[in-house]
Structure 1
């Protein structure tokens, strides 16, 4: 009769390696999306502009928090949209109304978040830019 195998405790170094690898997979996913998704290039350019504008305007800490959360939320929405589109394309290569609806709803989530980020940007940068332009 075989003795039951007792699981050995996980070694901290292998646990840390797996955690580090998961970050690598995440960065690989972002990079792959950047290479293939035109909308992410737009978001990347907008991020650079917003950060530059924030530095120029000398944003307060709470304003940076709002801008960072808005930018991060748009990026998250776009990455989730990209993942949903990939899965839908995998499981439904031919057109199906439900597949189309899933893609439309995911794209709608990006639109809603982008509009919310635009509102944050207008609230934070608007008064400064109007003052700069003398309005």
Structure 2
């Protein structure tokens, strides 16, 4: 295989990795109610940001919160799927892993809500 063929192959793998990632996001959106709720709240925050005219710094904060929240929810979903693959039985460690991941999402969601309310209130 020549250098050009190798470069094309690398680009194809790179493209496929993005397609797999988008597929994961799409599948999670279709099947996970909590992810759908987070996306809806994110859309509301973006609309509110335009209404109250967030500053550049406020937009950066909101976008980091949205991105972090969605990424954390995707990781939580992945962990739940892996635990379910390993065992269908009720095991204390499986429950603890799922609960801890859900707890991480909850902590970040509460923090995001507090910061979001603060930003909106600050601009009223």
Say whether the fold is shared (TM-score over 0.5). yes
Give the RMSD, CA atoms, in angstroms.
Answer: 1.5
Alignment TM-score, normalising by the size of structure 1: 0.86
For the residues of structure 2 that align with 1:107 and 1:80, how far apart are their CA atoms?
A: 10
How many residue pairs get aligned? The number is: 123
For the pair 1:63 / 2:58, whether they are aligned, the reply is: yes
Name the structure where helix makes up a greater proportion of residues: 2
2:44 matched to which residue of 1? Answer: 49
**Residues 81-129 of structure 1: per-residue CA shift (max 9 Å, x gap):** 000000000001111000000000000010011111112202211223x
1:96 to 79, 83, 91: 91
Which runs of structure 1 show a deviation greater than 2 angstroms over 4 or more consecutive aligned residues?
A: 7-10
2:8 to 9, 13, 19: 13
2:120 matched to which residue of 1? Answer: 125
Moved more, 74-83 or 118-127: 118-127
Alignment TM-score, normalising by the size of structure 2: 0.93
Structure 2 unaligned regions, length at least 5: none
For the residues of structure 2 that align with 1:121 and 1:28, how far apart are their CA atoms?
A: 29
Larger radius of gyration: 1
Higher RCO (CA < 8 A, seq sep 6+): 2
Moved more, 101-110 or 112-121: 112-121
For the pair 1:87 / 2:119, whether they are aligned, the reply is: no
